[in-house]
């Protein structure tokens, strides 16, 4: 993080209110588990309070003018930005009230703007296929492919995927689960789609590792890096290079996860590489969310759409021997219950 946003130690001549901001941001990071949230709050709080001079001088008029004011971009703030500014400052004042340093919250009397949910700029199935096609068949490339498939098929945030460890993966019969720590410090547990799991086994084999013998806290993404695993910054840079190589617009990792992971895009195909095996994901988390009636705010797909078809790399012989029994039962069930053919799906994978 930029030291100016959250300094490790304040200057001796720093005002008393600056210490409250630092304490608030430190608490926010511990409670939310999101570094990016803290960075965003810091970028908003420091300039505002430095301009006003002290929290006890802040009035409702100050908040209203700041929340709706033009920022560094020179553009009128969107309703989402206005809401984020008010939420940030309101959270800070609630902290002050809890600490006995303030008696009122100047944000309480303000109306929060109604936000209009924008359509996610997700990648199409063809774009995801192009993205996976440029990932090299190397140790680092197979690790990146496993990461990309996990992003695409689970819809988890970057920190949640990069932070996965061996202890987060569990196999129960024919189903694989992963545990994760989401925003707010809460823990979740979801099914890991089979293609992502098989790609994970391949990259672990590249590192000479197996889930059964790994320490629970060991990173899943050690191939080509080391025991600490690939960092979020390194993978993000490689992801951007893959986008450029595929002729796609460089963007953030929220795009592929919003494009497929959160929406259970059915009748889609992502990647057919040499030596790949096509696998029909019949029970991924996002699809079950749609089937349960939860609103799909990205594409409007329903739970009746066809299953997502993905191409996952074949596991090496070492990996296959470690999980052969688990795979055999799953494949037998898949082969005995073939899904009906769909022209759109067929067109995507041929």
Query: Residue 20 in contact with residue 96, Cβ under 8 Å?
Result: yes
On whether the pTM is more than 0.75, the answer is: no
Strands of the sheet containing 276-281, edge to edge, are: 269-270, 308-313, 276-281
Query: Residue 190 in contact with residue 288, Cβ under 8 Å?
Result: no
Task: Tell me the C-alpha distance between 284 and 299, whole Å.
Answer: 17
Two tokens, residue 311: 């191409």
Burial 71-108 (b: 16+ CB within 10 A, else e): eeeeeebeeebbbbbbebbbebbebbeeeeebeebbbe
Task: Tell me the C-alpha distance between 249 and 264, whole Å.
Answer: 22
Query: By three-state DSSP, how is residue 299 classified?
Result: coil
Residue ranges of the chain whose pLDDT lies below 70: 1-13, 116-121, 183-185, 254-350
Task: Tell me the C-alpha distance between 56 and 310, whole Å.
Answer: 56
Query: Residue 154 in contact with residue 178, Cβ under 8 Å?
Result: yes
Contacts of 16 (CB under 8 A, 6+ apart): none
To which residue do tokens 């993080």 refer?
1
Burial 201-228 (b: 16+ CB within 10 A, else e): bbbbbbbebebeebeeebbbbbbbbeee
Q: Which domains does the chain have, with CATH numbers?
A: 16-98 (1.10.150), 125-349 (1.10.443.10)
Give residue 31's pLDDT: 82
Give residue 118's pLDDT: 61
Could you tell me whether strands 276-281 and 269-270 are parallel, antiparallel, or unpaired per DSSP bridges?
A: unpaired
Give residue 159's pLDDT: 85
Give residue 224's pLDDT: 92
């Amino acid at each position: 993080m930029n030291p100016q946003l959250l300094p490790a130690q304040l200057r001796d001549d720093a005002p008393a209110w600056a210490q409250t901001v630092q304490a608030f941001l430190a608490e926010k990071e511990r409670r939310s588990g999101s570094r990016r949230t803290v960075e965003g709050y810091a970028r908003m709080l420091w300039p505002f309070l430095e301009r006003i001079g002290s929290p006890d001088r802040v009035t409702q008029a100050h908040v209203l003018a700041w929340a709706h004011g033009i920022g560094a971009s020179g553009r009128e703030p969107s309703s989402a930005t206005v809401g984020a500014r008010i939420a940030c400052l309101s959270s800070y004042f609630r902290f002050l009230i809890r600490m006995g340093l303030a008696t009122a919250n100047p944000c309480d009397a303000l109306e929060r703007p109604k936000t209009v949910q924008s359509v996610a700029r997700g990648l199409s199935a063809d774009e995801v296929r192009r993205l996976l096609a440029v990932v090299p068949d190397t140790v680092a490339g197979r690790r990146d492919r496993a990461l990309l498939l996990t992003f695409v098929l689970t819809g988890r945030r970057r920190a949640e995927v990069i932070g996965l460890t061996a202890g987060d993966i569990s196999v129960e019969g024919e189903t694989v689960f992963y545990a994760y720590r989401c925003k707010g410090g809460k823990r979740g547990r979801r099914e890991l789609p089979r293609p992502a799991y098989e790609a994970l086994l391949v990259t672990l084999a590249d590192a000479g590792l197996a889930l059964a013998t790994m320490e629970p806290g060991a990173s899943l993404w050690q191939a080509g890096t080391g025991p600490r695993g690939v960092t979020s910054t390194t993978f993000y840079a490689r992801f951007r290079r893959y986008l450029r190589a595929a002729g796609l617009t460089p963007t953030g990792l929220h795009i592929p996860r919003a494009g497929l992971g959160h929406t259970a895009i059915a009748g889609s195909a992502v990647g057919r590489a040499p030596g790949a095996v096509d696998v029909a994901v019949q029970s991924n988390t996002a699809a079950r969310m749609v089937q349960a009636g939860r609103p799909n705010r990205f594409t409007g797909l329903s739970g009746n759409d066809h299953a997502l078809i993905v191409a996952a790399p074949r596991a090496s012989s070492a990996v296959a021997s470690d999980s052969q029994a688990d795979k055999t039962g799953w494949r037998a069930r898949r082969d005995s219950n073939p899904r009906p053919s769909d022209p759109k799906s067929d067109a995507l994978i041929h």
